[in-house]
Amino acid sequence: MTPLHQIQPLKYRAIWISDVHLGYRGCKADYLLDLLRTVETDYLFLVGDIIDLWSMRKTMYWPQSHNNVVRTILGKAKHGTKVIYIPGNHDESLREFDGAVFGNLSIHTEYVHTTRDGRRVLLLHGDKFDALLSCGRGWDFIGNIGYDGLLFINRILYKLRRYCGYGYWSLAGYIKNNIRNARNHVRRFEASVAREAKHRHMDVVICGHIHHPEIRNIDGVLYCNDGDWVENCTALVEKYDGSLELIHWSDRQLALKADLYAPTADVARVA
């Protein structure tokens, strides 16, 4: 086993996380807590949809682990990490506090960060591009009614169509077709975000919103999406040389558990 003093804690210049959806049943808070407790960072950017106020308005769900995420983030701010909160559409009431500063924590609707190697980075959640993309609302609708809702609608449609003399029409087939559309939707979203960043003379743009982690060059702009903590458990990090990287925490957590997980966490805590 590696001696304790040789194990380096994971340190980054900056970390971006978004679409955590605290207050929603699907949030993988334990994975996020593990990331927050294992890594150290100078800047922590919360790129929107951290707290899911939409979901909490429907059903109140707030387990201890969700509370621990909030406490851990505030603890980091207290110990010197600069925390910048960029609200998304699920926590958009916080946008009213644009420019507010609470010690090391500040709220901004958009933000410009400069990497260690001097690149200008535009940070935004990304929901403002929904209006430009026609099928965005449709997918929100399908996401909200869920699978049971779809089957219910399918039954009604079937009856209606039979009444009008039409044959069976498969909703499943329709959805499969739409998966191709969804992929196009992601591509169009990425292109719109990159276009805006280019228009504003940025080198990099970082957003969230569509739960689709990515780092890709689009027309001269580095498009980065930090993913989410409902499906992917991903974060974007800036290393001390200024390079950007996506980390998949569900993979990393397994690796750490198998090897140096506990000591690394201890060193990170005392360092």
Residues within the interface to Mn ion (CB under 5 A): 49, 88-89, 127, 209
The conformation of residue 238, written as its DSSP 8-state character, comes to E
To the nearest whole angstrom, how small is the minimum distance from the Cβ of residue 124 to Mn ion? 11
Instruction: Compute the radius of gyration of the chain from its Cα atoms.
Output: 21
For Mn ion, the closer CB: 43 or 54: 54
Residue 184 DSSP label: H
Which CB atom, from 92 or from 203, has the smaller least distance to Mn ion? 92
Spatial neighbors of 261 by CB under 8 A, at least 6 apart, are 253
Spatial contact of 128 and 121, defined as CB atoms under 8 Å apart: no
CA 169 distance to own-chain centroid: 36
Contacts of 208 (CB under 8 A, 6+ apart): 18, 19, 47, 48, 49, 88, 125, 126, 225, 226, 227, 228
Residue 211: CB minimum distance to Mn ion, A? 8
Supply the minimum distance, in Å, between the C-beta of residue 18 and Mn ion: 8
Cβ proximity to Mn ion, 115 vs 234, nearer residue: 234
CB of 35 to Mn ion, least distance (A): 20
